[in-house]
Amino acid sequence: MLDRVPMLDGASDTAALMAEIGRNARAAGRPLALASPEAKTLALNAAADALIRNEAAILVANAADMRRAEESGLTSAAMDRLKLTPERIRATAVGVRTVAGLPDPVGKVTESWTRPNGLLIERARTPLGVIGVIYESRPNVTADAGALALKAGNPVVLRGGSDSTLSSAAIHASLLEGLRAANLPEAAIQLVPTPDRAAVGAMLAGLDGNLDVIVPRGGRSLVERVQTEARVPVFAHLEGLCHLYIDRSAKLGMAVEIAVNAKMRRTGICGAAETLLVDRAVADTHLVPVLEALHGAGCAIRATDEVRAFFPLATPATEEDWRTEYLEAIISVKLVDGVSGAIEHIEHYSSHHTEAIVAEDAAAAERFFREVDSAILLHNASTQFADGGEFGFGGEIGIATGRMHARGPVGVEELTSFKYRVRGTGQVRG
């Protein structure tokens, strides 16, 4: 074994640490799965109390992270994501309390039926398994993801960004206070304590079989890496290339309002509209008012020549524009032949995250709902409703564009599996 490359001590330490984290998470699975709804609610409410009580300590930790981030030249957008304020900490505590107040999903019977032989079959929710969350600068993900995983009875392994190490640790300390208050295992919510990137590799490899699903929260390069390298299932979306289609039957006022909201309310979120498709039949009436409103709100317009003939302030769109998630105040615009043309464009270019139709014609909306194959479809509502909180899930651990198990906002119920419970009176099979 002369030519064997010796492992660095650091890497070896991280490997051992991650293996231990995985074993601890798995061991916490059964007590968590059997924890009473009351214990989980108590833990979450106590964690929310601790976040408020520990506000000063969390802010001190965050200030240290911010200083280091500034020195290392973090972008201002990333600095904003990293920054905690008393308001943000209180909002995080409210989020944890909201999750605490959700109905407990474990044991919930989602379907039941009786067979001709008298067997009563129930399908009941169970925890899903050990959840891994890999995130970047937002330290509040620590609390959001920890709370959702706990509510569904799942151990979670959190790996925050190296920029937010101290902030995440301070938030994690409050979660541990909650777990202790409810006598639940502290390994229910583990925060990876090392910035060593080998920790991420260990999670992608599945922690020796002790990690069941990974949720990446962050930019495209993180999600892409996780989707490519993970050896376990991933709940994620690579991008939200969302479309808004304005049908010939749309009310103009509604179309204007929804277009401005879908694009401009927040341009950096995955549910922001990136492409506007307008029915050619209403190019004369609807196109210009909608574009004027967008432009007036500060949005740059990239459009086909046909659209530019109506609205010369638009710059030319290239093929690349139809494939681009801007995440900025830019929108690509095109005329299409009714709902068929919209569906054709969307099925060709969409990332299958979220699409909306504005129409009074119910048949057009139903066709859009039926034929567009995206996680979230909206009729006469803004694409920016693509959010677990807005769906009533009390939060989300992410939004998935995969089709397996979870799709759309991933909330507490998507963090469960199920088992069949069959009640008989002595039946044997013939």
**Cα–Cα dist 48/84, whole Å:** 16
Closer to a second copy by Cβ: residue 6 or 426: 426
Burial (CB count <10 Å: 0-12, 13-18, 19+), residue 87: exposed
- State which of residues 23, 108, 251, 323 lies at the interface with a second copy (CB under 8 A): 251
| Reduced 3-state DSSP string for 35-70 | CCHHHHHHHHHHHHHHHHHCHHHHHHHHHHHHHHHH
CB 272, CB 240: distance < 8 Å? yes
- State which of residues 104, 325, 347, 361 lies at the interface with a second copy (CB under 8 A): 347
Smallest CA-to-CA distance from 213 within 156, 141, 142 is with 156
Quick one: tokens of 396?
Answer: 């989300």
Quick one: tokens of 138?
Answer: 């937002």
- State which of residues 121, 169, 181, 288 lies at the interface with a second copy (CB under 8 A): 121
**Cα–Cα dist 153/177, whole Å:** 17
With binding defined as CB under 8 A, does residue 212 bind a second copy?
Answer: yes
- State which of residues 119, 309, 313, 363 lies at the interface with a second copy (CB under 8 A): 119
Number of amino acids touching a second copy (CB under 8 A): 61
As beta bridge partners, residue 121 has: 113, 422
**Cα–Cα dist 168/191, whole Å:** 8
**Cα–Cα dist 331/237, whole Å:** 20
With binding defined as CB under 8 A, does residue 408 bind a second copy?
Answer: yes
- State which of residues 58, 99, 128, 294 lies at the interface with a second copy (CB under 8 A): 128
With binding defined as CB under 8 A, does residue 353 bind a second copy?
Answer: no
Q: Choose the binding region for a second copy from 64-72, 81-89, 94-102, 399-407 (rule: CB under 8 A).
A: 399-407
| Binding positions for a second copy, 91-110, rule CB under 8 A | 107
CA dihedral of 212, 217, 218, 224, whole degrees rounded to 10: 30
- State which of residues 44, 134, 158, 258 lies at the interface with a second copy (CB under 8 A): 258
Closer to a second copy by Cβ: residue 162 or 380: 380
With binding defined as CB under 8 A, does residue 390 bind a second copy?
Answer: yes
Closer to a second copy by Cβ: residue 82 or 327: 327
Closer to a second copy by Cβ: residue 121 or 181: 121
Cβ at position 302, least distance to a second copy in Å: 23
Phi-psi region of 377 (alpha: psi -120 to 50; beta: other; left: phi over 0): beta
With binding defined as CB under 8 A, does residue 405 bind a second copy?
Answer: yes
With binding defined as CB under 8 A, does residue 87 bind a second copy?
Answer: no
Smallest CA-to-CA distance from 247 within 338, 316, 156 is with 338
Cβ at position 412, least distance to a second copy in Å: 14
Q: Which residues bind a second copy (CB under 8 A)?
A: 30, 33-34, 107, 113, 115, 119, 121, 124, 126, 128-129, 212-213, 233, 251, 254, 257-258, 260-262, 265, 347, 365, 369-371, 373-382, 384-385, 390-392, 403-405, 407-408, 417-429
